[in-house]
Amino acid sequence: MLEAFALMNTGTPPIRDIPKKSDKEKRSRKASKEVRRQQLIEATIDSLAKRGYSDTTMADVADGAKLSRGIVNFHFESKEKLLIATLQYMYDEYAAHWRAALDKAGEDPASRLQALVAADFDRAVCNRRKLAAWCAFWGEAKSRPTYQALSGARDKAYQGTIVELCTLLKAEAGYDYDPEPIALALSTMLEGLWLRLMIGADDVSRETALAGANAFLATAFPRHFARAGTGRDATEP
């Protein structure tokens, strides 16, 4: 009756309250979207490790994630966008890992540098699957400016941290070296050890790679790090 009266007087139907999605429903939909994106990124890492860069397809990723190919297209639109998102994720994961190691190590520069090196050989980031995916991206970086820009910014932050720590150790102990070349040598050695782990060299495991990296620390910074067998993990300056 009231609705009819309102229609006669205004010429328009009454406005009814339209049910709104609850915050819980919105959060659930957002979570589901993020879960699917993560599934697709993990499946991309799997495919890169198994097939390499060129042979990875959107169909492979969909099958690996056990999702429809339409879902892949909905979230990423193209293989290139999917790969960029995967590379972004891997860099973010790696950065979060080494930054967490630094935070846990405290303020002492020697402890921080040792933690940074050890973090590179933690199974969470240093395993055959992820190393193979990294190498797949590295092989494409030279010809893809987007990859270069993405990796350059993050590598700069990591390298800057190593230079800073080498500078602090020099100031503490009076070492006769230029911090930047020493930092470059250290980071290059770490990358080389990753490469040897990826190709499956018989004489290299995560444990022996870490031992080699620690031997470098003991050689470059003898007043801060002990050589294997001395019974000390780090020395006082």
What tens digit of pLDDT does each residue of 120-160 get? 999 999 999 999 999 888 877 777 777 777 776 678 899 99
Amino acid identity, position 129: R
The pLDDT value given to residue 6: 45
Q: Answer yes or no: is pLDDT of 26 > 80.
A: no
Judged by phi (left if over 0) then psi (alpha if -120 to 50, else beta), residue 228 lies in: beta
Torsion, Cα 96 100 101 105, to 10 degrees, reads 160
Query: How far from chain centre, in Å, is Cα 5?
Result: 65
Q: What is the DSSP letter of 230?
A: S
Q: Quick one: average pLDDT of 91-109?
A: 96
Q: How many Å apart are CA 137 and CA 202, to the nearest integer?
A: 24
25: CB partners within 8 A, 6+ apart? none
Query: How far from chain centre, in Å, is Cα 233?
Result: 28
Q: How many Å apart are CA 42 and CA 125, to the nearest integer?
A: 13
Alpha-helix runs per DSSP H in the chain: 2-10, 23-51, 58-65, 69-76, 79-105, 109-119, 128-141, 145-173, 179-199, 206-220
| Percent of all residues in the chain with a pLDDT value above 90, rounded to a whole number | 65
| Percent of all residues in the chain with a pLDDT value above 70, rounded to a whole number | 80
Query: 22-31, 88-97, 188-197, 202-211: lowest mean pLDDT where?
Result: 22-31
pLDDT band at residue 8, thresholds of 50, 70 and 90?
Answer: very low
The pLDDT value given to residue 144: 79
Q: Answer yes or no: is pLDDT of 219 > 70.
A: yes
The pLDDT value given to residue 232: 40
Q: How many Å apart are CA 172 and CA 190, to the nearest integer?
A: 24
Q: Quick one: average pLDDT of 78-99?
A: 94
Name the token pair of 57: 């397809």
Q: In terms of C-beta density within 10 A (0-12 exposed, 13-18 middle, 19 or more buried), how is residue 167 classed?
A: middle
Count other C-beta atoms under 10 Å from residue 150's C-beta: 17
Work out the widest C-alpha separation in the chain, in whole angstroms.
Answer: 97
**Backbone φ and ψ of 203, nearest 5°:** -90, 5
Query: Which domains are delineated in the chain?
Result: 26-77 (1.10.10.60), 84-237 (1.10.357.10)
Count other C-beta atoms under 10 Å from residue 93's C-beta: 13
Q: Answer yes or no: is pLDDT of 18 > 80.
A: no
Q: How many Å apart are CA 208 and CA 77, to the nearest integer?
A: 42
104: CB partners within 8 A, 6+ apart? 115
Q: How many Å apart are CA 117 and CA 35, to the nearest integer?
A: 32
